[in-house]
Amino acid sequence: MNRPVTAVFAALEALLVVGIGVGLPVVVLSSLWAFQYGLQIDWIVFWRAAVDVWLVGHGVDLTLQLSPAKAAASGVAGADAPISVTIAALGFSVLTVLLAVRAGRAIAETPHRVMGVLVSTGAFALLSTGLAASARHELATPSFVQGIVLPTLVYAVPLVAMAEVTRRRRDAEPDPVTGWVARTVGRLPDAVRVVTAAALRIGVGSAAVLLAVSGLVVGLLLVTSYAELITLYEGAHGGFLGGLALTLGQLALLPDLVVWAASWLVGPGFALGTGSGVSPLGTTVGPLPAVPFLGALPTADLPFGFVGLLVPVVASFVVATLLRGRVHAALRRAGVDDLLRRVVVGVAAGVVAGLAVGLLAWAASGSAGPGRLVDVGPDPLLVGAFAALEVGLPAALALTLSIRKFLGHDDEGHDDDGREEDRREDARRDDARREHTRRESDLRAAGAGRDRDRDRDRDRDGAHAVGPEIPDGHGDAEATPSRRRLPRLPTRASLPSLPSLPSLPSIPSRRRREHDDDATGPIDVVATPPEPAGTGTGTGTASGSARGARDDDGDATEQIDGLTR
């Protein structure tokens, strides 16, 4: 895939993410325009409303202005003043993050990863700019600058992160920016890098467990409050399409409800309007909008609400205990495995968890309408501080205290978790080293076999020149040692013929003379006809040849004896 194709592919990924995010509210609102309003209203109104919903879902502030007649009909004090909507419908942000992760994985598979990420981010920024500009109206005005920056950040951060994760999985070369970051981090002291990595693991893991439990709590509340939800749906009188639009809006706010539940478990709770509060220690709720999912929220004090405060504490302790062996091993390899460093890791993990939960609380809080609704959601600073405290202390205790010693058991004979992790790490390194050695041996064997095959082919073709070997086009042309070939031994055909010796006079043998003297009559010599070529057995031929060779040897010996006498 060349650069132009990669650029087009990355731009299409950004277009797909924006199209899915904006397309959901556009389809629902267009259905309302067609079936419920009978195409009597200009469709651009529903387009702007859909874009406003998408922008609010990414944290963009929206300013609404009601006409004087509608403000008076609402009966809400201050309805004629501009209304700011600053709370984010995090469902659209979650959708963008998931699609950005998929896009980052796909772009990282291309040979031009950096260019693809830049093009995709730029295309998303251009699309966000066009959407923010098209949604501006005197009655509903989204923040133009936020409409460009915030959606792009929500898309770019997971895109870059997933592209980098995929690059590391593929062992690809880092880009210049990633290489610079890696070199900068590598210059930090080992203690700083180890403590930071351990704190990130424990803090993020604790926050993830807290959010998972919060999701279970929200699901349980929705199931147990099913009757109240149905009653509020029926009271809305929105029909099928109106109920569909209302459900879509509540799904967009469902992640906010999970964050509110996490704030409740942490302790500070959240507000549903000015002067109200929902927390484990008490619940005070005023008049609420007729939104169905609000019917699942508790409206009175819970008898055992304080038990919810144990969730972040237990989550932090469990996560730190599970990661204790790895953290100790990392600290030991860096030479800083002492009590102070373990406490620092626990406190830093609390800070990480507090920042994560506080940031989510900030996104899920703000103004949701006029009057009392200007204060909805949790207090991000208070929630972040409580989360840091409830995660940091248990993590520090889990990293510094031994459960076996706490229970009164003797640790003698039992390996420490860190040493066990060291042994596992050493075993992994040994396996990797053996695998590397095996591959090198295979490569050397393959190279030697290739050289033997090449030499045999050249010998067969008559290449007997003495001198350095010239590498062929398929081999490695790097520093091949010069090898000299031995000259081939001459063959029998290439040897010069020796001069023939003069023939000796024929002397009859002693055996033949005695036979002639003893003969009493003439000897009839019967000539044996020659045997046709290719006939007879091999054994007879070989025997005859052997007898003839012995007779010739005897004749030659007798001739030499006669000459010497």
**Sequence spans of domains, the chain:** 1-187, 190-401
Residue 458 pLDDT greater than 70, yes or no: no
In tens, the pLDDT along 462-504 reads: 544 444 444 444 444 444 444 444 455 555 544 455 454 444 4
Place of tokens 């005070």: 284
In tens, the pLDDT along 13-38 reads: 999 999 999 999 999 889 888 887 77
Closest residue by Cα to residue 251 from 288, 281, 292, 220:
292
Q: How does strand 140-142 pair with strand 62-64?
A: antiparallel
Burial of 12 per CB tally in 10 Å (0-12, 13-18, 19+)? middle
DSSP-assigned beta bridge partners for residue 63: 84, 141
Q: How confident is the model at residue 518 (pLDDT cuts 50, 70, 90)?
A: very low
Torsional sign, CA 286, 290, 293, 295: positive
SS3 per-residue string spanning 342-400: HHHHHHHHHHHHHHHHHHHHHHCCECCCCHHHHCEECCHHHHHHHHHHHHHHHHHHHHH
- To which H or E segment does residue 328 belong? helix 324-333
Burial of 141 per CB tally in 10 Å (0-12, 13-18, 19+)? middle
Whole-number pLDDT of residue 358:
94
Whole-number pLDDT of residue 416:
53
In tens, the pLDDT along 354-396 reads: 999 999 999 999 888 877 888 898 999 999 999 999 999 999 9
The pTM assigned to this predicted structure is 0.69
Closest residue by Cα to residue 420 from 335, 347, 326:
326
Angle at 69 between CA 63 and CA 71, to 5 degrees: 45
Residue 119 pLDDT greater than 70, yes or no: yes
Beta strands in 88-174 (DSSP E): 140-142
Q: What is the mean pLDDT of residues 195-215?
A: 93
> Which tokens go with 69?
């007649």
CA atoms within 13 A on the CB side of 93: 23
Which range has the top average pLDDT, 191-195, 492-496, 546-550, 560-564? 191-195
- To which H or E segment does residue 84 belong? strand 83-85
Residue 149 pLDDT greater than 80, yes or no: yes
Q: How confident is the model at residue 536 (pLDDT cuts 50, 70, 90)?
A: very low
Place of tokens 């799904």: 251
Q: How confident is the model at residue 133 (pLDDT cuts 50, 70, 90)?
A: very high
Gyration radius of the chain over CA positions:
46
Beta carbons of 451 and 483 less than 8 angstroms apart: no
In tens, the pLDDT along 402-444 reads: 655 555 554 444 445 555 555 666 677 777 777 767 776 776 6
